[in-house]
Structure 1
Amino acid sequence: MVSRLSTRLLNICIASMCKAQQLVKAEVVLIDGIRLGVLPDVVTYNTLIDAYCRVISIDAGYSVLHRMREAGINPDVISYNSLIAGAAKKFLLARSIDLFEEMLQVGIHPDLWSYNILMDCLFKLGKPDEANSVFRDIILGDLHPNRATYNIMIDGLCKNGYTNNALMLFRNLQSRGFVPHIVTYNILINGLCKARRLTAATRILKELEISGHEPNSITYTIVMKCCFRCKQLERGLEILSEMRSKGYTFDGFAYCTVIAALVKTGRIEEANDIIEQMQRSGIAYDVVSYNTLINLYCKQGRLDDALELLNELEKAGLKCDQYTHTIIINGLCKAGNVEQAQQHLYYMSALGFSFNLVAFNCVIDGLGKAGQIDRAIKLFQSMEAKDCFTYTILVHNLCRARRYLFASKILVSCLKSGLRTLRATERAVLDGLKNIGFTNEARKLRSKIRLSRLLR
């Protein structure tokens, strides 16, 4: 009895240290316990496995398995579940599957949690058929799927483009007596919204209300964002009003969703009103909030305010992301401050950000519109990657500068790289070549355009 109590106390102490991420102290407690004659058990080592996976690495967690075996303690299903879950959280999905197979090889029978994690990993790896096979094994086996199992299936099907299958599964479960909770409804509504099936999402939302469950702020925000994405701005604002009338507390994400939609549709004054409401509510800004406000100020031409917000963001201890700097660069280009935009592009690289195609495209367009087409060409040639927008931007600016022959060469290189070109872009170059008397070049270009379309 004393030994059991002592081991339990040892486990409580180690768990407390692990929760505080004090792994060195946890190891000291373990060593001291062994010296005092208090022997660890499988729970002790499982606690360490989970902590090492969370705080350090999967390899560190996996090394605890060897220590367990040396101590004469066999790992159990919880040991492997902790490793599999830890690998999945660090997006080492293939490693999770390897650990699952290893568990089977050493003779440990997976439990429902093991299968749930495995299904989630397979969906994230883009293997919905294999995930569905695991689900079938659960149904046909001795295990009984729980709410988490169904949520993983519905979410995974939606994220892999099988929204109809997710909806069919949801209906099938309902017919068998499954009573979905708010989390399940939110997952399905989110999947339908991302597939732009607003009508179906709205229908599920109404079902949720009828079922006796109260939609939460996440539910409304998902549908509201879908309305904005589907260009149903008024419907989105109606949902915003409904949220207010029901007394929901908005988070920064909900506010930013509304502000971004209003800015995109040019309703700047209404966006400013929402910002004032956001400030009055006392919500602390995160990077997304700052990006939304910076974008608004850039749209209004208030570059000084946008740069001030950038400084404020950094003083608040937040890290700017690539999107933050891209917004600033785009704003500077549209304001005609191309020199400063290009400097900010190099500053972005100096900060260690990876190559940002959108930012480069903005600067090329800015240089072209400022009449500095040679600098735009030079920047274009220095780029390590290009997309169809890069080519289109340069071609249109070359046409604006009446350099149709060079525009033709850029257009041909775009076609050769396998990228699609807009008909308006092709027409601009062809018409330009004809206007300056290069009809043969126009005829050759038209033939190459037709050939590229046939090869697609």
Structure 2
Amino acid sequence: MVCRLSNRLLNICIASLCRAHRLDKAETVIADSIRLGILPDAVTYNNLIDAYCQLVGVDAAYRVLDRMREAGISPDVVSYNSLMAGAAMEGLLPRLQGLFEEMCQKDIHPDVWSFNTLMHCFFKSGKLDEANKIFWYIMNNDLSPSPATFNIMINGLCKNDFADYALTLFWYLRSCGLVPEIITYNILIDGLCKAGRVKAAKRILKELGKSGNAPNAITYTTVMKCCFKNRQFRQGFEILSEMEHKGYTFDGYAYCTVIAALVKVGRKKEATHYMEQMMRNGIQLDIVSYNTLINLFCKEGNLEAVSKLLCEMEDRGLECDKYTHTILIHGLCRSGDIKRARQHLHSMNMSFDSKLVAYNCVVDGLGKDGQIDNAMDMFKSMERKDTFTYSSVVHNLCKARRYRCASKLLLSCVRNGLKILDSAQRAVLEGLSESGFPSDANKIRSIIRIARMSHY
């Protein structure tokens, strides 16, 4: 009895140390317990395997199996499940398959979690056929599929752009008597939303209400964000009203979703109201939340509030990411402070690809500020350009009445298969026509038409 109690205390201690990421201490406790005559059992080593997988790697965890065998303890299905989960976490599908085969060769029968892990890793590796085979093997071989089995399958289909199949599977499972959990509904709704299937997502939301499960804040926020993304603002705000009416507590993600949508439709007063409410409720902001608020204040031209938010981020140990920097540069350009925008751009410690949008903001800002020569100099110095780079330069050249230069750049883009925004093309054609060069405008129009036809 004393020995059994000692083992239990040892395992509780090892599990706690592993959760606290103190593997060194866990190893010391195991060594001390062996000296005291309290021998580790399979549970002790399985805790260690799981911790090594999460904190060090699957190779280090695998070496624990040798220690188990030396101690006369046979690894079990839990040992191998932990190793397989570690291989999946590192994206090592061949290693995971090797562990699965090794387990079978040693007459350790895989359980549903073994198959779940294998299926999940197949999905992550884009091997949909293999994942599908695993799922139906579970369903047809009395392996007692868990809710996680269905969640992995539906999530995997959605993540691999098969939301319609996920929806069909969901209805099939419902017809077989499956009672989905709220997380299953949330996964499917999120997948449908990301696939642009807003109506289908709303139907699932209604089905959720009929099922006896109450939608949670994540469910509503997912659909609401989808509505806003697809510019269905009225429906998005209706969902917001329903959330408020039912008394759901907003998290930072929900608040920022609403604030961003309100800013986009110009309802700044309401956006400010929700921002203040979020702060009153003591919501801890993450970098996405800060970026949303900084964007709001930049659009209002309230650079003092932006400065306070940046100081608050620094105090909390949060670093600006490329979106923060780009929002700041765009805000400075909008306010006409091109000099500071350029200074901030050059101070960004990032790769050029991460700076591309910021460069586009400054080039466009210089053009709109009448500094077209400086804009052209920066344009020529850029390592990489995209549709918006070329379009803004063409548009600003037209604004400076340099239609010939704009038309040459436009033709160069068209001939090289680069897309220029229609508004920039119109600016060139209308500018040439109004400047007394209608034949040049017709020639360019003809070249654009031929290029489009050859593209199709």
- The verdict on a shared fold, with TM-score over 0.5 as the criterion, is yes
1:216 aligns with 216
Q: Deviations over 1:244-278 (max 9, x none)?
A: 22221111111111111010001111112222222
Quick one: distance in 1 between partners of 2:237 and 2:337? 35
1:369 aligns with 368
Aligned-residue offset at 1:134: 1.7
1:103 aligns with 2:100: yes
1:355 aligns with 2:354: yes
Aligned-residue offset at 1:228: 1.7
2:12 aligns with 12
Quick one: distance in 2 between partners of 1:179 and 1:128? 25
Q: 1:115 to 1:418 in 2, by over 3 A?
A: farther
2:399 aligns with 400
Q: Deviations over 1:206-243 (max 9, x none)?
A: 22112211111111111221222232323222222222
Partner SS state of residue 355, structure 1? helix
Q: Deviations over 1:366-419 (max 9, x none)?
A: 111112223323333333332212221222222222334443444355446543
Q: 1:369 to 1:66 in 2, by over 3 A?
A: farther
1:132 aligns with 132
Quick one: distance in 2 between partners of 1:389 and 1:101? 48
Q: 1:433 to 1:73 in 2, by over 3 A?
A: farther
Q: TM-score when scaled to structure 1?
A: 0.90
Q: 1:419 to 1:242 in 2, by over 3 A?
A: same
Structure 1 residue identity aligned to 2:116: N
2:178 aligns with 178
Aligned-residue offset at 1:302: 1.0
Contact 2:333 2:365 in 1 (8 A): yes
1:194 aligns with 194
Q: 1:445 to 1:235 in 2, by over 3 A?
A: closer
Q: Deviations over 1:17-64 (max 9, x none)?
A: 112211111111122223334333333222112112222333433343
Quick one: distance in 2 between partners of 1:85 and 1:426? 54
2:427 aligns with 428
2:236 aligns with 236
Aligned-residue offset at 1:300: 0.8
Q: CA RMSD in A?
A: 2.7
What are structure 1's unaligned runs of at least 5 residues? none
1:149 aligns with 149
Quick one: distance in 1 between partners of 2:265 and 2:310? 24
Aligned-residue offset at 1:104: 0.5
1:226 aligns with 2:226: yes
Structure 1 residue identity aligned to 2:52: Y
1:57 aligns with 57
Aligned-residue offset at 1:83: 2.6
1:275 aligns with 2:275: yes
Contact 2:185 2:204 in 1 (8 A): yes
Give the aligned length: 452
Which one is further off, 174-183 or 371-380?
371-380
1:388 aligns with 2:383: no
Q: TM-score when scaled to structure 2?
A: 0.90
Contact 1:97 1:121 in 2 (8 A): no
Contact 2:352 2:383 in 1 (8 A): no
Structure 1 residues 218-367: aligned runs within 5 Å: 218-349=218-349, 355-367=354-366
Q: 1:450 to 1:174 in 2, by over 3 A?
A: same
Contact 2:338 2:362 in 1 (8 A): yes
Q: 1:382 to 1:120 in 2, by over 3 A?
A: farther
1:160 aligns with 2:157: no
Contact 1:151 1:187 in 2 (8 A): yes
Residue identity (%): 59
Contact 1:80 1:99 in 2 (8 A): no
Contact 2:123 2:131 in 1 (8 A): yes
Q: 1:194 to 1:448 in 2, by over 3 A?
A: closer
Structure 2 residue identity aligned to 1:363: V
